[in-house]
Amino acid sequence: MGKKVVTEDTIIQNFKATQGNYDYVAFFKQATGKNISDFATWLNTQVGKTAKEALVSYCDAAQQKNMEQRLSEERYSFISEQDKAFIVAFDKQFEELGYDHGGGIGGDGSSEAFTIKYGKTSVKSRPCPARIHIKASGEVVLRLYFKNIDKHSQYIENAPLHVKEAFVIEWGDCKSCMPHCKSMKIYIIDGQLYNKCCHSTAFFKIHRWQSCPITWHCIRSFIRPKNRSL
C-alpha cells in the first residue's frame, strides 16, 4: 500500500510516526521546488497545522528579513520595545564586524523561548561568538564566548562592574576537571588567577548594558572585523 497523498488540508502529524503513511516530502518539495534541510526536525515543529499553514510558515521563515522586521512579528510581542531596540542595535554592530544571525531565530529546547545565534559570514564552519537568549518570561540575556582573555585583562580591570563581574564570579570555575578540559581558560585579573572550564561563557542581562553604552567597547575590544574569533 502506497503513501497517502498530502494535500493543503492534511493535518501535519509527527513525521517519524507517520512518514510511512503520508508523503510529506513530495508535497513540500513540489510546493517549494527544493529539498528542505533537516526536513523531519522542521516538520515536527509544524505538528497540528494544515500542510498549507506549514508551507506559509516555511516561506515566511525563508524570506530574507532584517532583525527589526523579524522582531515586529506577533510571536515576539512578549519582548519589550526597549529590549527589541537593544537586539536590533546589537545585530547591526555584529554585522559590521562580519557576523550575522543566519537569517532566522530559533528555539533551543530549554527554558529559553527563542535563541539568536551569531556566526561568522563567508565561512563554512561559522564559529559562534555570541548568542542572545530570549526567555519565555521576556528576559533577554546576552551570552558571549570570549577567548584570549589575558590579552584584554587591562580593559576588563577598568571596565564597568557589570562587565567585569562576568569574568571574576565563581560561575564557570574549573572543578578539578582539567584532564577533560583541554582548552581551559586561564587568565589573571587584578593579580588573581582564574581557571575557567573551556565551555564557560560570559552572561550579561541586557538591561544593564542599555544604561551604559560604553560597554559596547567590551565587544569591540575582543573582536575586530578581520578576526576569526573572540
Tell me the pLDDT tens digit for each residue of 164-185: 888 888 777 777 665 666 667 8
pLDDT digits (tens, 9 = 90+) for 20-67: 567 888 888 888 776 665 577 677 777 888 888 888 777 766 666 788
Q: What is the 3-state secondary structure (H, E, C) of 47-114?
A: CCCEHHHHHHHHHHHHCCCCHHHHHCCHHHCCCCHHHHHHHHHHHHHHHHCCEECCCCCECCCCCEEE
User: What's the whole-number mean pLDDT along residues 89-113?
Assistant: 74
Asked whether the whole model's pTM tops 0.95, one would answer no
Kindly state the cell numbers that stand for 208: 544593564
- pLDDT classification of 190: cutoffs 50, 70, 90: very high
Average pLDDT, the chain: 76
Backbone angles phi, psi at 16, to 5 degrees: -65, -40
Look at residue 152 and tell me whether its pLDDT is greater than 90: no
pLDDT in tens, 115-125: 888 888 777 67
What is the number of residues in the chain? 230
- Is pLDDT larger for residue 73 or for residue 111? 73
- In this predicted model, which residue has the larger pLDDT, 11 or 46? 11
> How is residue 171 written as a grid cell?
560561575
Q: Residue ranges of the domains in the chain?
A: 15-62, 67-144, 147-200
Q: Helical H runs in 97-222?
A: 153-157, 161-168, 206-210, 216-222
Contact assessment for residue 119 and residue 100, using Cβ atoms and an 8 Å cutoff: yes
